[in-house]
Amino acid sequence: MKVQAQKSQAHVNGVKSVCCLNQLKYFDSINGLPPDIMHDMLEGTVRVNIKLLMTYLSSMPKINKHRYTLEQLNEDLASFPYGRIDKDNKPPTNLFTDKSSYKISATHQWMVMRVLPILIGEKLKNDSKFLHFVQLVEIVCLLHDDEFDEMKINNLTMKIDKYLQEFKINYPVEKFTPKQHFLIHYPSAIRQFGPPKFYSTMRFEAKHSYFKHVISATHNRVNLLKSLAMRHQKLQVYHLSSQDFFVDIEYGSAMSVSKHNFDFIQLHLKESKNISLYKWISKKGIKYHVNDIVVSRKTSLPIFSKIKTIVSNTKNDVYFQIEELQTIEYIHYMAAYKLKEIESIEKIISIKDLYNIWPLDAYHLNSQFQLVIPKYPLWFFMV
């Protein structure tokens, strides 16, 4: 294509001419650039799909019980009981309007995408356009996996193909956007570059917030680049000179428990001396708090547990006293796991033995059941 474009002086499948960067020994402008799930999905395909879905739902007649307006969405997002972890990404209120382009930050878009099936899933569980959106939610979840094998890649390929085919069925007038087209290249990109979450620009974009804060705080526009560089370098020096900046573990406030509970912990940690109990602890940047939900093990479905007590010893080994919950099922139309509290024997588990290291929030469906919305795949979703 590069040669054809150069000879004809015209575009060939979008290629204009030879890129000067191809003169580099280990770089190719066509095959050397991995995709980015933040821009392709959270700020691209997800945004498009949510806008089309909300346009469809809000245009229904008022007598239709499936009608769901932008005003209702804003109200539901504002009143949603975000948990400890999810509230950091709580989207702003009055986010969507009739003239809105749905351009919000990737983290807010991710939160809206995960919460929307819970808000409207029960009444729209038989609606084809809504279920089509749920397919996209699961694809985004699968793309954030830590590791892939050929079976997972093939499953992802089938889900992407099904999503794109049903997009034309549900929205026949709409054309595919370039970012929707990029979806078909993800399986081959994963084979070449590995899991997409490891080369996502999400963390790099988050770094921009520091520089935005500096600009806002200094009100200085004279030689802006020098001001940003100098302040950032001073911050780096401050961190590097700190004895606590690179610590592996950070402890929260102490926690008191009954003597019976303390004896139970000591009985199970016979080799650990001088144990301490905490309300929260941060291990390698991941914060765990009492009452957080973790995936302790996996059978046919992941087994979720509630953290009752956080324990550490003099060697900085971290243990959780947990109470297992019963995983009832995975509710497809809510893209969430349905859990039930049961009378279970409390256990002590090492942080190293968790099936998945990321803590989650639990949301009460009613007085009997709870829902957990995964951000990362915890179970192998077959097509």
Return the structure tokens found at 167.
């997009």
Of 216, 177, 208, the C-alpha closest to 40 is 177
Mean pLDDT of 294-307: 91
For residues 67 and 371, give the distance between their C-alpha atoms in angstroms, rounded to a whole number. Answer: 24
Handedness of CA 175, 38, 54, 135 (dihedral sign): positive
Does the pLDDT of residue 9 top 60, yes or no? no
DSSP 254: B
Of 277, 328, 265, 331, the C-alpha closest to 124 is 331
| CA atoms in the 13 A half-sphere facing the CB of 355 | 17
Lowest mean pLDDT among 211-215, 285-289, 318-322: 211-215
Lowest mean pLDDT among 65-69, 263-267, 310-314, 332-336: 263-267
The more confidently predicted of residues 307 and 381 is: 307
Q: Can you give the pLDDT at residue 172?
A: 94
Start-end of CATH 2.30.30.490 domains in the chain: 249-372
Lowest mean pLDDT among 66-75, 98-107, 327-336: 98-107
Does the pLDDT of residue 2 top 70, yes or no? no
**How many of the other CB atoms lie within 10 Å of CB of 352?**
10
Does the pLDDT of residue 16 top 90, yes or no? no
The more confidently predicted of residues 1 and 91 is: 91
For residues 173 and 50, give the distance between their C-alpha atoms in angstroms, rounded to a whole number. Answer: 16
Question: Which CATH class, in words, describes the domain spanning 249-372?
Answer: mainly beta
DSSP 323: E
Backbone angles phi, psi at 279, to 5 degrees: -80, -30
Lowest mean pLDDT among 28-37, 95-104, 157-166, 216-225: 95-104
For residues 169 and 155, give the distance between their C-alpha atoms in angstroms, rounded to a whole number. Answer: 21
For residues 163 and 136, give the distance between their C-alpha atoms in angstroms, rounded to a whole number. Answer: 7
Determine contact, residues 334/117, Cβ cutoff 8 Å: yes
SS3 content of the chain, % helix, strand, coil (to 5): 45, 20, 35
Does the pLDDT of residue 99 top 90, yes or no? no
